[in-house]
Amino acid sequence: MAESQTKESKNKQINSVAIMGGTFDPIHNGHLRIAVDIVDRFHFTELRLVPCFIPVHKSHPSISAKQRLDMVTLAVEQHPSLLVDDREIKRTGASYTIDTLIELRDELGPEVPITMVVGMDSFLSLPLWYQWQRILNYAHILVVSRPGWHPEFDIELQELVENSRAQSAAELQSAPAGKIHMETLTELRISSSMIRLLCEQNKSIAYLLPESVHAYIDQHTLYQ
C-alpha cells in the first residue's frame, strides 16, 4: 500500500471515507474548498484525493503524473483530514474509477461507508464511464454543484438518480454504498484549464490555488 495513503490513516479509526478523483492538472482552490467543506459538513474521517494516471475521457495531461501528484501532495500538507492516494498513478495504464473503488472496498472491508465525490460536470458524463452501473455497489456518489453546470440528466442517469437518491446527506454515513446525494457547496468558478490558459498567456494565477502549488509551477516552469 502506498505510503502517502496510509500516513494519516494508520493510527486512526476509519469510520467513513470520501474520495475525489481528478486529473489535478493542476489542483486548485475549487477542488480544495469543496474537499474541506465535505469533511467538515458531512463528517467523513478523511477525504482522499486520487490523481489519475491516464484520464479516460480527457486529452492527455501536459505535464507528468509525478508533477501532478507532487502538487496534490503540497496542497494537502496543511490539512490533517485531506490525504493523497497515489494508487492510480502506481497502477499506471488507464485509470478506471471502478478498479479504484474495488481495491478500496477490499482494503476497508464491507461495512465502511465510501463516498465518491464528483462535480456536476463529471456526474453528467457518468454514463460514459467504464462499468458505471457497478459504481454504486461499491460507493455512494456525492455530486457537488459547479458554476455553469446544471442537473440536466439524460434518461439513463435520470433513472439512476431516481432509483438511488438519498433523503439526506446522513444516508451517506448510514450504509456502506448505494446512494446518490447532491449538494451546493462553496461555488468557485475555477478550473485547471483556466489556470493553464492564464499561464500560457503569462498572466497571474495568484489566489486560484495554494501558494505552495503556485511556487511549484513557477519553479518547474509548467504550463508555459
Q: How far is the CB of 33 from ligand ATP (least distance, A)?
A: 8
In our burial notation (b when 16+ CB lie closer than 10 A, e otherwise), range 70-86 reads bbbbbbbeeeebbbbbb
Q: How far is the CB of 88 from ligand ATP (least distance, A)?
A: 12
Beta bridge partner(s), residue 94:
54
Q: Which of 8, 25, 85, 86 binds ligand ATP (CB under 6 A)?
A: 25
Q: Which of 69, 82, 56 is nearest to 25 (CA)?
A: 69
184 in contact with ligand ATP (CB under 6 A): no
Q: What is the largest CA-CA distance in the chain?
A: 49
Helix (H) or strand (E) holding 147: none
36 in contact with ligand ATP (CB under 6 A): no
Q: How far is the CB of 67 from ligand ATP (least distance, A)?
A: 14
Query: What is the SS3 assignment for 17?
Result: strand
Q: Which of 32, 46, 122, 172 binds ligand ATP (CB under 6 A)?
A: 122
Q: What is the DSSP string of 53-88?
A: SB-SSSPPPSS-HHHHHHHHHHHHTT-TTEEE--HH
210 in contact with ligand ATP (CB under 6 A): no
30 in contact with ligand ATP (CB under 6 A): yes
Q: Which is nearer to ligand ATP, 98 or 188 (CB)?
A: 188
24 in contact with ligand ATP (CB under 6 A): yes
121 in contact with ligand ATP (CB under 6 A): yes
Question: What one-letter code names the amino acid at 167?
Answer: Q
Q: Which residues bind to ligand ATP, rule: CB under 6 A? A: 22-25, 30-31, 34, 118-119, 121-122, 144, 146, 188, 190-193
